[in-house]
Amino acid sequence: MEKNRSGRRKFISNTITTLAFLFLANTFLLKRLNSKTRPKIVIVGLGIGGATCLQYLNKISNFVDIIVIEKQNVYQTGPLSNLVIGNILQRKDICFKINKKKYKNVKFIFENVKRIDVENKSVVFSKNLKVKFDFLILSPGISYKNDILKGYNVSDKKNIPHCWDGESNITQFKKRLRDLENNSKIIITSPDYPYRCPPAPYERATLIANYQRKLNKKVKILILDSKNSFTKQENYFREWQINFRDEIEWIPRSKGGKVIFYDQKKNLVKNSDGQIFKGDFIHIIPEQKAASIFFDSELLNDGKDWCEINPISFEINRFKDIYAVGDSIDAWAMPKSAFSANSQAKILAINLINKILEKDYIDPVFLNTCYSFSKEDRAFSISAWYRLNMTKDKIISLGSSESNVYANDNDRKLEAQHAIGWYETMVNDLFM
């Protein structure tokens, strides 16, 4: 017992030392900096990427001004949202308000940012109010392409909510799912790459099947896919074979999965071969692009859908002192996930501190692990480490690997526990 405690003490002191290498050892420098000017750092978006930057930058909040701007008072996470749809968790379990007590020196503004005034280094709100910045971090997530699927308008409230961001009405989605009659047909369209959380459409289909079975309803779920393969495919196929053989059917692009037309009134979609699919519940997962603020502020290169950044500093190409992180960036080999956004944001914050202190940047190392559930007690994952290529202008994968397709029940259960454990650690660190 005593041994453990001493180990723990040592452990904690060393954890503090780890941070000290960055922060405390630089107190002298920071004080000098403080006496000249206090740099003003503005963070837009308090989701996973923004909150991670905040967590790290908060450690120097005595020496810099930090302002966080977020349009929503309550943040609903993407991770575990499919478990809410599948009635395993409740919505309140995935909703968080930032614990301001943890961030005493930080100013929070809950407003929608209209655009960035690059020339004047300021953030512009809807009522044309402005906040100036020295350094700006953007982590506003994604927006949707409205011109890919004829007949589909992302903001049409009569559609089944797409539930691909924290603003979507997950409660309404569940109500419409619950209201389905026996023998209903559910159609889910899965978008083309790149999009937020590549395995999530298949996790959603699986957890909907699981939920309907608990309601004693027979349903047929058709996944119409814009792609010919998808991440963790073999693991999903295995889970469907074991548990949902009669419920779920996947149609790849090559077999007519690419949907090009949607008729809300007639409840149908049409594929590129003109084949019609009728459904009682048509769930379109829209094609995606970076958040609208990038387009409205002209921060993207011509014709690009995602923000191009320097992979060491995360500074946006061509825009000095403006940084972007998370789902809105083109992160080369890294998928758009909360785990990735969290890992990237740590590097952004550490290297921004290095920049402020006029120290060298550290070459980044990133990690991603993405869990998927097929039932409350069954999950599997994919993970990979990432680093820079030789010319240091790209993020490359060191090779991703997945859970064993033939994993036994215990292994699936253990991964389900790890998935929840990862989530609890992350939201505790960021929001609580």
Partner 1 sequence: MNKILLYFILFLSSNVFADQDKTINLIVENCKSCHNLNKQVTKKIPDMNNLEKEEFIRLMTKYKNDKDNSVMNRISRVFTDNDILKIADKIYGKK
Ligand X SMILES: Cc1cc2nc3c(=O)[nH]c(=O)nc-3n(C[C@H](O)[C@H](O)[C@H](O)COP(=O)(O)OP(=O)(O)OC[C@H]3O[C@@H](n4cnc5c(N)ncnc54)[C@H](O)[C@@H]3O)c2cc1C
Question: Which residues of this protein are in contact with ligand X, per CB under 6 A?
Answer: 44-50, 69-72, 75, 78-79, 81-82, 112-113, 139-141, 164-166, 196-197, 200, 291, 293, 326-328, 336-339, 341, 370-371
d(CA 53, CA 415): 28
Q: How far is the CB of 418 from ligand X (least distance, A)?
A: 12
**Does 409 sit near partner 1 (CB under 8 A)?**
no
Tokens of residue 31, six digits: 């004080």
Regarding beta strands 113-117 and 122-125, do their DSSP bridges make them parallel or antiparallel, or are they unpaired?
antiparallel
Minimum distance from residue 243 beta carbon to partner 1 (Å): 21
User: What element of type H or E holds 85?
Assistant: helix 81-85
Please report how close the Cβ of residue 230 comes to partner 1 at its closest, in angstroms. Answer: 19
Q: How far is the CB of 184 from ligand X (least distance, A)?
A: 21
Counting contacts by CB under 8 A, is residue 359 touching partner 1?
A: no
Evaluate the omega torsion of the peptide bond into residue 194 and state whether it is cis, within 30 degrees of 0: yes
99 touches partner 1 (CB under 8 A): no
H or E stretch at 19:
helix 2-22
What character string, x for contact with partner 1 (CB under 8 A) and - otherwise, covers 146-165? Answer: --------------------
Q: Does 407 bind partner 1 (CB under 8 A)?
A: yes
Binds 407: which of partner 1, ligand X, none (CB < 5-8 Å by kind): partner 1
- Show contacts with partner 1 in window 280-339 (CB under 8 A): 339
Q: Locate all alpha helices (DSSP H) within 112-260, ordered by sequence.
A: 170-178, 200-214, 233-243
Q: Identify which of residues 17 and 146 has a Cβ nearer to partner 1 in the complex.
A: 17
Among 385, 389, 392, 409, binds partner 1 (CB under 8 A): 385
CB 351 within 8 A of CB 313: yes
Q: Least CB distance from residue 182 to ligand X, whole Å?
A: 26
Residue 344 contacts by C-beta under 8 Å, 6 or more apart in sequence? 49, 314, 325, 326, 329, 331, 334, 366
Task: Describe the strand order of the beta sheet including 268-271 as a list of residue ranges.
Answer: 259-263, 268-271, 276-278
CA distance 95 to 79: 11
Helix ranges, 120-220 (H): 170-178, 200-214
State which residue, 289 or 412, has the beta carbon closest to partner 1: 412
Residue choice 7, 24, 150, 167 for contact with partner 1 (CB under 8 A) = 7
How many CB atoms within 10 Å of residue 133? 23
Choosing among ligand X, partner 1, none, which partner's interface includes residue 113 (Cβ < 5 to 8 Å by kind)? Answer: ligand X
Phi then psi for 53, rounded to 5 degrees? -60, -45
Residues near partner 1 (CB under 8 A): 3-4, 7-8, 10-15, 17-18, 21, 339, 342-343, 346-347, 350, 362-367, 369, 381, 383, 385, 387, 398-399, 401, 403-404, 407, 411, 414-415, 417-418, 420-422, 424-426, 428-429
